[in-house]
Amino acid sequence: MIVSYRIIHALCLWSVSQASLNYESPTAQQKYWKNQAPEAQKTCKEISYRGYAAGLNILELISVSYVETRHTKNLVSPAGARGPLQALPKYWKRKGDKDDITSGLRAWKYYREKSTSLREAAGKYNGSGTGGRYARDIQAHYDELKKLYALLRWPL
């Protein structure tokens, strides 16, 4: 997969726009775009660049970040999972890691290498199995990103 800054920006902008749809009122959507979307866009792009450098599929990473946290960088779950990819530091953090994104990339790479499909990897990553809502949501977001990526790569 060959990506450019322009493509990553467009993919992340689309993904962040999907998060804004969680708010029903136009006022709430405007507040999201003003207060949360700029940081979500930045987080999505950072995951994409670092994942691409690590040889990972950025469409998968954007999908995981979207479903896990809607691209929220410093989120901590009740179970202790951290960062936009919600990796558990107990298992994935290593001395010298730059931040929680590094742990999340390590976790995703591990599960993806152990799986034959995106849904299988997502089910293992989350612990919900391949037929669960989580795996379906990851797959659905990925499928939409893949369509957009194909349009962006279309020669003009």
- Contact residues for 80 (Cβ-Cβ < 8 A; gap 6+): 88, 89, 90
C-alpha separations of 32 from 5, 10, 24, 28, 45 in Å: 24, 18, 11, 6, 18
Which of 2, 12, 136 minimizes the C-alpha distance to 62? 12
Task: Show the CA angle centred on residue 148, arms to residues 75 and 83, nearest 5°.
Answer: 10
Q: Where are the alpha helices (DSSP H) in the chain?
A: 5-20, 26-35, 37-53, 58-69, 89-92, 100-113, 118-126, 133-153
Do 89 and 82 form a contact (C-beta atoms < 8 A)?
yes
The per-residue pLDDT string of the chain (156 residues; one tens digit each, 9 = 90 and over) reads 567 889 999 999 999 999 999 899 999 999 999 999 999 999 999 999 999 999 999 999 999 999 999 999 999 999 999 999 999 999 999 998 889 999 999 999 999 999 999 999 999 999 888 888 999 999 999 999 999 999 988 664
The tokens describing 7, both together, are 């493509």
Rounded to two decimals, the pTM is 0.93
Distance, in Å, from the CA atom of 31 to the CA atom of 23, rounded to the nearest integer, reads 10
For residue 41, count CB atoms less than 10 angstroms from its CB and return exposed for 0-12, middle for 13-18, buried for 19 or more: middle
Cα(118)–Cα(45) distance, integer angstroms: 21
Domains of the chain and any CATH numbers: 5-153 (1.10.530)
